[in-house]
Amino acid sequence: MTATVTEAKISRFESMLEASSRIAVVTHTRPDGDAVGSASAIVCLLRGRGKDAALLLPDGYPDNLAFVIGETCEGHVMLCDRDPESVRAWITGSDLVIGLDFSTFGRAEGMQGTLRTSRAAKILIDHHISPEEGDFDLVFSETEISSTCELLFDILVSTSEAGGDASKLPMPVLRALLTGMTTDTNNFANSVFPSTFEMASRMLEAGVDRDGILAELYNRNRENRLRMTGHLLKDNMRIFPNGVSCIVVRRADIEEYDIREGETEGIVNMPLTLDKVRMSIFLREDEGFFRVSIRSKRGTSAFRLASTRFHGGGHEQAAGGRLYFPGDIADASMAEAFLERITDDYFKTEE
């Protein structure tokens, strides 16, 4: 068990699940593999126990994660941006809310108001820095772990039903959890701990087909995605003298390559393969702001930059946030110059 997964907490976790009948499982906006994997895994487990559980997402998930939804909770997923009234009604009628892969209800965007005012019991399972524990009745929070999926795996195998045996958990649950851990570590390239390899080993022993998961995640891309990646690296990547790489994706790029949700995932990591790059920043234009992803090499804090300059947070080497225009910058065309200036300032204070 990790430090946060104690016998007392597991006992309370099991009691709260047993006492509930209608459960809202929620995660953050623009859900990634860790969010989809962990949230769909718990929905699958709960529905297998006869609970009326639903996965509530602020908005859509990437196409390459559709196989996870299909195996775990298809037909029991609601998107707040498409049907906000049904989502709010489900939350209001639930007696238990389980939040995964976020540290604050604010990350649930359109659902946050209803979640905060809900009278349901609330559980948080997360691996980000500084969780808002006061909003929850039970909190599992661990930052020294690869992913929320790994933390949830630790919780589930510690329950009386599993008794420490991963093979006693349903196979779709295991596949979803291994999927989320794989994506959040960039396939074991970052945020990896001894417990992460232990989790993977126990999954393989339980019969999980890791090769099949990798094929779904990485070998089902559209041709447009590969061509878009080449374009961004060739034409949009800049490397500043301070060792920061930036890639700015404008609306024209999105339209030209028909970029879909999730198809830019992982590109932010690519510049870090260069010896001279110590931090990589990826910006994708949205309505009135850029979505910001930051990755850094050990010794450089992506989290501090995200939290001080981009209204965000995350982990020490993997963080994100937003860059607003007008607000932080006058207009979108100023993004690149802004990045060079603020990273210069950042390194002056850090060094």
What's the pLDDT score for residue 1?
A: 66
Return mean pLDDT, the chain: 95
Distance CA 332, CA 280 (A): 19
Question: Where do the CATH 3.10.310.30 domains begin and end in the chain?
Answer: 224-350
Pick the CATH number of 7-218 from 1.10.3210.10, 3.90.1640.10, 3.20.20.70, 3.40.190.10: 3.90.1640.10
Q: What is the pLDDT of residues 22-76, one digit of tens each?
A: 999 999 999 999 999 999 999 999 999 999 999 999 999 999 999 999 999 999 9
Is the model's pLDDT at 351 over the cut of 70? Answer: no
Burial code (b: 16+ CB inside 10 Å, e: under 16) for 167-199 equals eebbebbbbbbbbbbbbbbbeeebbbeebbeeb
Residue 116 DSSP SS3 = helix
Q: Are strands 121-126 and 138-141 parallel, antiparallel or unpaired?
A: parallel
- The DSSP output letter for 259 is P
pTM of the model: 0.91
Taking residues 113-130, what's their average pLDDT?
96
Burial code (b: 16+ CB inside 10 Å, e: under 16) for 203-237 equals beebebeeeebeebbeeeeeeebeebbeebeeebb
What's the pLDDT score for residue 216?
A: 96
224-350 is a CATH 3.40.640.10 domain:
no
Angle at 16 between CA 41 and CA 161, to 5 degrees: 55
Taking residues 324-339, what's their average pLDDT?
96
Q: What is the pLDDT of residues 261-301, one digit of tens each?
A: 889 999 999 999 999 999 999 999 999 999 999 999 999 99
Distance CA 70, CA 257 (A): 27
Q: What is the pLDDT of residues 72-92, one digit of tens each?
A: 999 999 999 999 999 999 999
> Picking from 130-139, 180-189, 341-350, which range would have the lowest pLDDT averaged per residue?
341-350
Question: Where do the CATH 3.90.1640.10 domains begin and end in the chain?
Answer: 7-218
Q: What is the pLDDT of residues 187-224, one digit of tens each?
A: 998 889 999 999 999 999 999 999 999 999 999 999 99
